[in-house]
């Protein structure tokens, strides 16, 4: 069921490594808006609701609620809670037993811990679920962050997660931008705001004032003190987000010129040059021909490397293990008769070639099995 919340929810969306975490930290520093760490709830749960059966049944809803609450990374948003009672604490904020109700309850629980009346959420892969978000929360306000795709890919290739070669990084960025283009045109008036990363870091106060005007909030200088917040401080401890521990900076603009070779820049232009140009970043190199055989090799190498590095430092094996466990639990419930194949909807992204990627997997299961990657659940 749809929820018309009194305080419109804020969803921050954009390609990974495009500045969404920076925007998350900035908006979360507003005195009225609480923005926790990413939930991944839409990618991991929304398309698979049919596997929980009738959520009106207590046992089914409890299973669903516990998987959502205990699947947060870091655990419970980093809040100090009693794991034995946290489920009941969250359920006290759930207005009804639906996905939207559970989502709103978790976010309201976190907002209450911050003493704030309004909440926001950032999961980059929500770009593939904007239709569901608009359906669940009709008065949602979406902030879409765009960054030069070449810089985004250069950042991805230096990160502990995501695509491992420029061809696959460009394909992923292109997929994001294609989905954003559709929903930018279809979103109701006043419910979509584009924020350009480069403008934000060069003119942070002016950009944040525009964001606040869009949200119907007064601008607060605390937003520029985001680096003092819990989320930014925690993220700043890790290599991929060290910059969040300090003031906003424009030094990461144009990093593709340093970190991508000319050959890699030409590959990007071949794969996603049109989307780059449409976003206002004209390609400055000529594309090159990429054969189907080369493309196939790029994709296979990406799959192999993603899986093989899961157990490396910062590889995220614990995160991946929980995601794999969720998939296994769907099969357990099918065998128990909670759902059957007849219940499976014909809906995106089920069956899509990119389903595992869209669902938040860091590596494809066939390659994890190929390399015999062992799961690890402790953090």
Confidence of residue 237 (pLDDT cuts 50, 70, 90): confident
Examine residue 2 and state whether it is found in any structural domain, yes or no.
no
Distance CA 37, CA 120 (A): 10
Which of 242-246, 323-327, 374-378: highest mean pLDDT? 323-327
Higher pLDDT among residues 255 and 315, named by residue: 255
Residue 332's H or E segment, with its range, is helix 317-335
pLDDT above 80 (res 36): yes
In a domain, 98, yes or no: yes
Which residue, among 193, 186, 198, has the nearest Cα to 213 in the 3D structure? 193
Position 229 scores a pLDDT of: 85
Q: Report the share of the chain in percent with pLDDT over 70.
A: 99
Q: Classify residue 91: in a domain, yes or no.
A: yes
- Whether residue 77 is contained in a domain is answered as yes
Q: How many domains, in total, are found in the chain? A: 1
Query: Does 379 fall in a domain?
Result: no
pTM of the model: 0.96
Domain that holds residue 334: 10-370
145 exposed, middle or buried (CB, 10 Å; 0-12, 13-18, 19+)? buried
The CATH number of whichever domain residue 281 belongs to comes to 3.40.50.300
pLDDT, one tens digit per residue, over 160-182 is 889 999 999 999 999 999 999 99
In order, the DSSP letters of 77-129 are GG----TTTHHHHHHTT-SSSSHHHHHHHHHHHHHHHHT-SEEEEE-GGGGGG
Q: In this prediction, what percent of the chain has a pLDDT beyond 90?
A: 89
pLDDT digits (tens, 9 = 90+) for 199-212: 999 999 999 999 99
User: Phi/psi of residue 123, each to 5°?
Assistant: -140, 110
DSSP 48-82: GGGGG--TTSHHHHHHHHHHHHHT-SSGGGG----
* pLDDT (mean) for 126-133: 97
* Tokens matching residue 278: 């449409």
375 assigned to some structural domain: no
Q: Is residue 292 part of a domain?
A: yes
Q: How far apart are CA 321 and CA 194, in angstroms?
A: 34
Q: What is the β-pairing status of strands 10-13 and 33-34?
A: unpaired
Q: Which helix (H) or strand (E) holds 340?
A: none
């Amino acid at each position: 069921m749809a929820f018309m919340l009194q305080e419109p929810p804020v969803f921050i969306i954009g390609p990974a490594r495009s500045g969404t975490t920076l925007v998350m930290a900035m908006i979360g520093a507003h005195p009225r808006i609480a923005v926790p760490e990413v939930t991944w709830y839409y990618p991991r749960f929304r398309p698979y609701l049919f596997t929980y059966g009738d959520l009106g049944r207590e046992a089914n809803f409890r299973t669903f609620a516990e998987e959502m609450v205990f699947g947060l990374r870091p655990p419970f948003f980093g809040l100090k809670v009693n794991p034995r009672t946290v489920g009941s604490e969250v359920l006290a904020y759930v207005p009804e037993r639906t996905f939207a109700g559970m989502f709103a309850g978790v976010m309201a629980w976190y907002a209450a811990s911050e003493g704030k009346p309004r909440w926001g959420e950032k999961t980059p892969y929500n770009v593939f679920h904007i239709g569901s978000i608009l359906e669940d929360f009709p008065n949602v306000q979406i902030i879409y962050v765009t960054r030069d795709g070449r810089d985004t890919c250069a950042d991805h290739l230096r990160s502990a997660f995501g695509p491992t070669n420029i061809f696959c990084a460009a394909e992923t960025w292109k997929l994001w931008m294609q989905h954003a283009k559709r929903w930018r045109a279809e979103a109701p008036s006043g419910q979509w705001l584009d924020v350009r990363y480069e403008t934000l870091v060069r003119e942070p106060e002016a950009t944040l004032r525009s964001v606040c005007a869009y949200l119907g909030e007064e601008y607060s200088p605390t937003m520029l003190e985001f680096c003092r917040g819990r989320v930014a401080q925690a993220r700043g401890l890790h290599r991929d987000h060290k910059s969040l521990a300090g003031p906003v900076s424009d030094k990461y603009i144009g990093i593709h010129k340093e970190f991508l070779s000319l050959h890699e820049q030409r590959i990007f232009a071949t794969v996603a040059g049109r989307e780059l140009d449409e976003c206002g970043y004209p390609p400055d190199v000529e594309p090159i021909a990429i054969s189907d055989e080369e493309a196939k090799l790029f994709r296979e190498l990406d799959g192999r490397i993603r899986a093989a590095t899961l157990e490396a430092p910062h590889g995220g094996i614990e995160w991946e293990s929980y995601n794999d466990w969720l998939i296994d639990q769907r099969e357990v419930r099918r065998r128990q008769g909670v759902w059957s194949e007849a219940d499976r909807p014909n809906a995106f992204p089920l069956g899509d070639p990119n389903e595992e990627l869209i669902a938040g997997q860091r590596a494809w299961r066939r390659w994890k099995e190929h390399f015999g990657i062992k799961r690890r659940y402790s953090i």
